[in-house]
Amino acid sequence: MSKTFQHGLINYAHIQPTVSYIKDKLADVRENNVPIELLKIDLSKGGRLELLELHITEENERYLKSLSGKYITTLIENIDNRLDASLPILNAFSIFDPSGIPTPNSLDFREYGNESLNILVEKFLRNKKDDILDKVHAEWGKLKYDILSWKSDMDKSVSQNKHTSPIEWCLVRLMKMKSSYGHFYPEIVQIAEGILSLPVSNAWPERGVSKVRLIKDRLRSRMKNDLLNALLHITINGPELFSNECDTLIEKATKKWLAAKKRRKLPTIAKVSDGQYATSSTSSSAAVVELVDTGMQTEPQTLDELREEVQVALKALNVEAKYGHESESEGYDSDYDSE
């Protein structure tokens, strides 16, 4: 049930049946003592907990059954306390689903949605005038025909966008009509605004906080907000790793980054002969080129070897080496010379 509420796409008409199903399953677990029976199987010979050498006595079994029954009863009561008052309101949202409205020729068409509409008026328009209920029902009588006419457009849009439910699509279209046709449904539009602004769960902000902790860790604590926002957008809304969409996106981003600014590259250092080095621009085509590794040295080097590497680096950077120069301050090297 928790995973159902964490989904970004929720069918409000399925919430109440889901809660009823979960409560019935919990009652079955309490009556049949399923956790106790599974524990006895695991502790028996050949079970996955056999090596623990634990045995459940009759007194232990009675205690566990009592504890399990109290826990499940409290869990069911907690679900009732948290959702009983909200379930009728959430279930009333389903009247805006175009697929659930009967045809005008049906006997149920005239009365469809009236009870749910009363619940929504009590929730969102309770501070209005006493005659607001009659106005809302009058608007609903006309809106049902409009929603039925939107059904074909809704099917195409929802099939293309998997992140939009039929109820959300209908409410968004109703809000878009507010500027041009708001005088037709001024009261129901306020109900639509309330429904679209309700947060169903706190799963989205929780995911965002978790991503912030993963991106801006101790080693990246000085990251600016613009880069953090970009990385959060990629992490939360980006494609799955190793997918074709992800590979295509990385390729496009790399090409755009390379084209945005001319990147300067260091010249390649080549070894022409013993003791002589040249850059890629000065080496001849006839010379045998041997590339010099730039990896970290793990063995001690002699002073001549270090000087040789310094010469290679200075030539690559077009800097002349100067040895034996005097210090700017008198006596700067006195300590080192004495050593």
Summarised one tens digit per residue, pLDDT across range 37-94 is 899 999 988 888 888 888 888 999 999 999 999 999 999 999 999 888 888 888 899 8
Cβ density class 7-42: b for 16+ within 10 Å, e for less: eeebebbebbeebeebbeebeeebeebebbeebeee
pLDDT in tens, 5-18: 766 666 777 788 88
Mean pLDDT of 254-273: 70
Q: Say which residues have a Cβ less than 8 Å from residue 87's Cβ, sequence separation at least 6.
A: 15, 16, 19
pLDDT in tens, 22-33: 999 999 999 988
The H-assigned helical ranges of the chain are 2-6, 15-32, 34-43, 58-83, 87-92, 114-124, 132-149, 151-160, 166-176, 178-181, 186-197, 203-215, 225-237, 244-260, 303-316, 334-338
Measure the CA angle with vertex 160, ends 155 and 163; round to 5°: 95
The interaxial angle of helices 132-149 and 186-197, nearest 10 deg, is 80
For residue 278, what is the enclosing H or E element? strand 276-279
Going from N- to C-terminal start, the domains of the chain cover 2-84, 92-197, 262-321
Mean pLDDT of 141-162: 84
On average, the pLDDT of the chain sits at 79
Tell me, rounded to whole angstroms, the distance of Cα 304 from its chain centroid: 57
- C-alpha torsion angle, residues 223, 225, 230, 234 (rounded to 10): 70
Query: pLDDT at position 292, please?
Result: 47
Confidence class for position 327, pLDDT limits 50, 70, 90 = very low
Query: pLDDT at position 71, please?
Result: 94
Q: Yes or no: say if 316 and 269 are a contact pair by the CB < 8 Å rule.
A: yes
Answer yes or no: is pLDDT of 324 > 60: no
Q: How far apart are CA 44 and CA 6, in angstroms?
A: 38
Which one is predicted more confidently, 201 or 210? 210
